[in-house]
Homo-oligomer: A and B are copies of this chain.
Amino acid sequence: MKVLIANRGEIAVRIMRGCREMGLPTVAIYSDCDRLAPHVRYADEAVALVANEPAGSYLHIEKILAAARRTGANAVHPGYGFLAENAGFAQAVVDAGLRFIGPPAGVIELMGGKTAARAAAGGAGVPIVPGSGGPLPDGATDADLREAGDAVGYPIFVKAVAGGGGKGMRLVREPEELPRAIQGARSEAASAFGDGDVYLERCIERGRHIEVQLLADEHGTVVPFVERECSIQRRHQKVIEETPSPVVGIETRRALAASAARLAEEVGYTNAGTIEFLLDDADNFYFLEMNTRLQVEHPITEMVTGIDLVRWQLRVTQGERLDIDPERALAPDGHAIECRVYAEDPNAGFMPCPGLIRTHRPPEGPGIRVDSGVEAGFEVPVHYDSMVAKLVAHAADRRLAIDRMQRALAEYDIGGVPTTVPMFRWLMGHEDFIAGRFDTTFLDRVLAGRNGGAFLDPPDDAEELAVMAAALSVALGRPGSEGVSAGGAEASGRWKQAARVAGLR
Interface membership of A194, Cβ < 8 A = no
Distance from A106 Cβ to chain B, minimum over Cβ atoms (Å) = 31
Say yes or no: B375 contacts A364, CB within 8 Å: no
Interface membership of A190, Cβ < 8 A = no
Kindly list chain B residues whose C-beta atoms are within 8 Å of the C-beta of A367.
Answer: 302, 308, 369
Say yes or no: A371 contacts B364, CB within 8 Å: yes
CB within 8 Å of B: which A256-286 residues? none
Interface membership of A79, Cβ < 8 A = no
Beyond A334-B306, A396-B307, whether A371 also contacts B375 by CB under 8 A is: no
Say yes or no: B370 contacts A369, CB within 8 Å: no
Say yes or no: A369 contacts B371, CB within 8 Å: no
Say yes or no: B372 contacts A369, CB within 8 Å: no
Say yes or no: B396 contacts A306, CB within 8 Å: yes
Closest B residue to A402 using CB positions: B21
Kindly list chain B residues whose C-beta atoms are within 8 Å of the C-beta of A180.
Answer: none
Say yes or no: B308 contacts A365, CB within 8 Å: no
CB within 8 Å of B: which A1-55 residues? 13-14, 17-18, 20-23
Q: How far is the CA of A18 from the CA of B311 in the complex (A)?
A: 32
Query: 0/1 per residue, A349-371, Cβ < 8 Å to B?
Result: 00000000000011011111111
Distance from A360 Cβ to chain B, minimum over Cβ atoms (Å) = 9
Kindly report how many copies of this chain are found in the complex they form together.
2
Closest B residue to A308 using CB positions: B366
Stretch of A69-77, A137-145, A167-175, A403-411 on the interface side? A403-411
Beyond A21-B407, A403-B22, A407-B20, whether A365 also contacts B371 by CB under 8 A is: yes
Query: 0/1 per residue, A367-393, Cβ < 8 Å to B?
Result: 111111001000000000000000000
Interface membership of A162, Cβ < 8 A = no
Kindly list chain B residues whose C-beta atoms are within 8 Å of the C-beta of A307.
Answer: 396
Kindly list chain B residues whose C-beta atoms are within 8 Å of the C-beta of A20.
Answer: 407, 410
Interface membership of A333, Cβ < 8 A = yes
Closest B residue to A328 using CB positions: B333
Interface membership of A61, Cβ < 8 A = no
Q: How far is the CA of A406 from the CA of B308 in the complex (A)?
A: 16
Say yes or no: B362 contacts A302, CB within 8 Å: no
Kindly list chain B residues whose C-beta atoms are within 8 Å of the C-beta of A362.
Answer: 364
Q: How far is the CA of A302 from the CA of B368 in the complex (A)?
A: 12
Say yes or no: A14 contacts B366, CB within 8 Å: yes
Q: How far is the CA of A420 from the CA of B410 in the complex (A)?
A: 31
Q: How far is the CA of A310 from the CA of B403 in the complex (A)?
A: 14
Closest B residue to A362 using CB positions: B364
Interface membership of A299, Cβ < 8 A = yes
Q: How far is the CA of A333 from the CA of B333 in the complex (A)?
A: 9
Say yes or no: B365 contacts A17, CB within 8 Å: yes
Say yes or no: A400 contacts B21, CB within 8 Å: yes
Task: List 29 interface pairs A-B (beta carbons < 8 Å), by A numbering.
Answer: A13-B365, A17-B365, A17-B366, A20-B407, A20-B410, A21-B400, A21-B403, A21-B404, A21-B406, A21-B407, A23-B403, A302-B366, A302-B367, A306-B334, A306-B394, A306-B396, A307-B396, A308-B396, A308-B400, A310-B366, A333-B333, A364-B364, A364-B369, A364-B370, A364-B371, A364-B372, A365-B369, A366-B369, A366-B371
**A-B residue pairs, 4 tightest by C-beta:** A21-B403, A364-B370, A17-B365, A21-B407
